[in-house]
Chains A and B, each alone.
Chain A
Amino acid sequence: MTVNGDILQLEDVAKRFSVRRSPFAPRRSIRAVDGVNLTVRSGETLGLVGESGCGKSTLARLILKLHDVSTGRISFLGQQVHDARGRNLSRYRRQVQAVFQDPFSSLSPRMTAGQIVAEPMIVNGGLSSRETDERVADLFDKVGLNPAWMERYPHEFSGGQRQRIAIARGISLNPKLLVLDEPVSALDLSVRAQILNLLKDLQRNLGLSYLLISHDLPVVSRICTRIAVMYLGRIVEIGPAREIVANPRHPYTKALFSAVLPEHPRAHHQRIELEGEVPSPLDIPSGCRFRTRCPIAVERCEVEPPANLMINSDHMAECHFAIEKPNHGGELK
């Protein structure tokens, strides 16, 4: 499909959690991720956007093997990994690493910056302590930190520097894919631009692929190759970033992007209001899961779940009206 090929593939991946409201209530099943098909291509930045509770973090945890899938398949470079155990699992985990949002809680306060970066290498073994030290110094250099700071503790660093430590740790095992969960949301504007620049450099120099999870749509629009939009456990639209921003086809994507705050006080664009709140993943609506809030929903949406509608070979939207117009005349601006 592409010149570079796919690195990670998810086929019909689902994750259900079993919950009960009170100690004696019957167990019910939450469909947190509900039939996701997704590929990450080699060298790309795939943005995953959606609002709280849409399942994007659960999806990231499935990819990182912090959760096991309930059903479906995950494969990495052609190898099936969702049921990997033992040696295969460790090999997979070396190749897929993560950087999380909050550099204040994701770094252990009791370890020095050097120890934090070295830990994955020590766990994986194979390096002498001198080799490890050299590698840590090299990593510090790569992410723009002074190697002389290896002995310092996380609290001695600023937010941006901490995120650099987290990134150094993330790339310490030469992964192929980095899952970035809101990597710049907690950072100030000036630091945000620096970290985004660093991520770009690393991607180019190390041939990394990124899965970027974020609710910051302006950042996602600027740095992603493709964007996937998630709603209530499913990818409802995916395509090249430029197309998703300029010409979204799913009514939810349109509403989401219309809520982006203006760049200028005079730039007042029409916002698409969504009725009500996101339904509970305990009670996913029949048919199209977005229909309860959709401004163009018709009867058909209640009974028939929209199939993956391909707008072109690279752009999919799960909406009956992604291509044709609704026949009741309701038209989205």
Chain B
Amino acid sequence: MAVTSRTAWLTTDSPTSRRQARLGQLYRQWLAFRRNRLALAGLGIVVALLLIAAFAPLLAPQDPLAQNLPGRLQPPSWQHLFGTDSLGRDIYSRIVYGTRVTLVIVILVVILVGPIGLLIGAASGYLGGWVDRLLMRITDVFLAFPRLVLALAFVAALGPGLENAVIAIAITAWPPYARVARAETLIIRSQDYIAAVRLQGASQWRIVWKHVVPMCLPSLIVRTTLDMAGIILTAAGLGFLGLGAQPPIPEWGAMISAGREQIFDQWWVATFPGLAICIVALGFNLLGDGLRDVMDQR
């Protein structure tokens, strides 16, 4: 009874408050999203990643940093599910703790990149003229270099480390977002609903922020989610090259790098972190695809 009345409240034709209208809209999107099995699987993976990161101390049987040199390079067993690495550390525990590192990278990059790309793109597209030319040429400069190479150059200049890796990835990741936001804005700015707000005497800042940005947001959210896989791989790549997270931090890319020497004799050292990267990247990709179907429809 309670459930049906709540559904009715969400799906009503005549909501009685802004909040109800907005929640109803979200609920309708969720219903559409739920029909997509693969997207649900992606959401499941991402939620699992969040839960594992939150409860890492409970899930990991051992300290991810505890070394045990006599028990080094042991194959997977009940005691060490994924085996041990060259310093005798439990790989399973390190992968569990590695989710935290991955999440930190992903969240920091998104917080840095999303708003910057969105604002630069929307301002460039809406204002046009010399603002547009200046901002887009700067964007061109960043787009002219391959992303990983540019990130490498920045980390090398800033010095290796997790924070610097995040900054380097953020600096190299925003230009495509600015481009997407600009393209969207160019379409939106000529719409009658924007002309109508201009006719009400709204300032340019208000038009960009309150009327253009909400229309760009869905495609940017989708793009971010799809890009997440790339960000994780870039972070792993930097870790692999020794420029990202520094030992003994359990970062997946760095773990693969450490297992490189034993890849033929002790396959498990590099395989399990690789699988973890693969699954998480896949999860974000599936989630992004599902979100695109739901949010980007017109």
A and B from one complex: no
Residues of B that sit less than 8 Å from A by CB: none
Residues of A that sit less than 8 Å from B by CB: none
